[in-house]
Structure 1
């Protein structure tokens, strides 16, 4: 994501500087990075771009399946489970082409920018044409996502996903043939053709322990470790997965991953919902991260994961919108705390500052961008501004810190989003994708017609 080398100045009416909200902060930006932070500037410097409201570091959506956005408002009808939801998801996946996926993802990533998200981790497993036939470009679907992110003005970590089997010892079913490269070696060969660029990192993912045979897990982990690339994995989202893993291997999914070298500080487990005490200790001791996706986990009735215990054990927390029941990282942060309050009937498991770090700096780190997520010299010039005069946020100027953002604001309050020093959202309107709601409507309608 290239940016002009000229220096520009942003004047922030209020800014969250990791420990407190400061009024009157001037950021100097050159070449997509913050080159100076000046506090106590009561008036905007001449020529500065003025951001009224509360400016936060850009938010990181650490877990996304872009095509699931087409399910919003349809899978909420009636009752069912994760497994019945999955059948509807497969039906949508069957209809996607590189062109239709590009149009949908472009609109979805633009929706994310409107919600203050500056980087997305796309957990990408829809690789091939229906029936499993590779496209002429074997990474046509991944390239469509990378291009969509560029056009929407956000950073992407493409977590190219190994998906080999439908279950322990089972070949892919008809729907899953699109996901499978045949084995992990073929996955690695295809994935190695993907190239990073200014706005895009290439990472890896194990879809789940049921989708990658145990003797192939090390291939995926080794590919990521050799490249120092992020590695993500769906982990213990459903008790049925745990039961099947115990039956097949006599151990939990977490233990299976540990035994095959998948866990570690470069790895993030997504969901981590149904864990034993030993699982939590394994994740914490290894420094494996945890990505919680509360709006999806409650939408699919998955359960509430042990986020407090995981963090206490040493697992860094980040957040994702996953199936995009909503796209709102502030809601994800709020939901993680509120879910824990319901489960324990006590309050205050995380400070607002800690929740905001999970939604920003720790999420960026999980996506391989540790230089993002803070408003400090040398950091990527990625930030977002929420209004302080909406019906949700109106009141005293924030004195405590991030509470107004985390416990009151929503994505609808985002007024500005800046990525690599470039204004992607200005005054609540996307500067690169005209009429994002219409773009979403058209892209989704094309998959339901």
Structure 2
């Protein structure tokens, strides 16, 4: 596949890095230093220039491309780039990255509005991810697959947990849950029966939502795993606003803190079931007065990351039940984690995952990365030609070149937790874990 990435800031360069190993990638940017950096790190061709200009797009061979990605920092430029690319090459699939939710909303209602095949909005995706975590607040990371029928959750095994120190085969798992992988800072291991669940290890689970919730109660019995009800959002930017709006749609009544008076007033009008507080979220006296210690979850969605780290640690120290932080720069994620923050969400990673889904083999419905991109959880639809179809899983997996773990199967709207004797069928949706380094080969073999 020939891919043209226009705009190689943090998102664009990450996408180019991820695609360069399997595809022919051409990167375009006005910034010569960015192009030099990506050339030194990745096997890509580069062109310097304004990607919204026809002559630059021609030089980047857009007329022969299979995929064109507009990933500059300007929404209108990305839309213009994609619509121009479509005019030059009707066969190209175009993806525009946008920040303004209004563009995304318009495109969702009228796909022909911008002549763009797909739009991806970081703020909307981030808010959606935050709301998914709200439904399972003891998890570090939560994603839903199969239109909500299957959930992936990552947990840390507490030292006092009744399962700490036991092997997987020692446990009596409910039928609706599969353990797929364990991680620490250095190692990743696909789960076997002999895998030991050491205290502090991170465990990746796939299963039906109710059974995963029940497992969370077994893992941390002293902690309620019911959906968080008392939620405080720090920061009334687009992520904070979208998070509050989605929480209202679920029947919740969050509180939202915004420092700017005009913005706070506008938010109060837009969010009828949210209590908007106009104040400084970095003020510990204010947080204490507002009862942070009694909240189930604090969502810290301020910018820049340094300010967000301050409010996150303040909320934790003041006794918040859990703290979720939005982290924009990859290098800061480990700082937040080492500071005791329960969960981090990275808007750029959300966008990268959504873009990469369109570059994988046909049939990919969703993809999410875990543990600093060391592993992937993928939803893929099987075709009649798949070597897995019509055979028990324990036999069929021999045709796949690398190990993977099948977490769940969605068949005709029903969720099956697969075992060795399960026979897969055409049009089954598999939710599976695979190591990132070998995922392309595994998915191609399916």
Classify the TM-score, shorter chain: under 0.3
Question: TM-score under structure 2 normalisation?
Answer: 0.27
Question: TM-score under structure 1 normalisation?
Answer: 0.27
Which entry has the higher C-alpha Rg, 1 or 2? 2
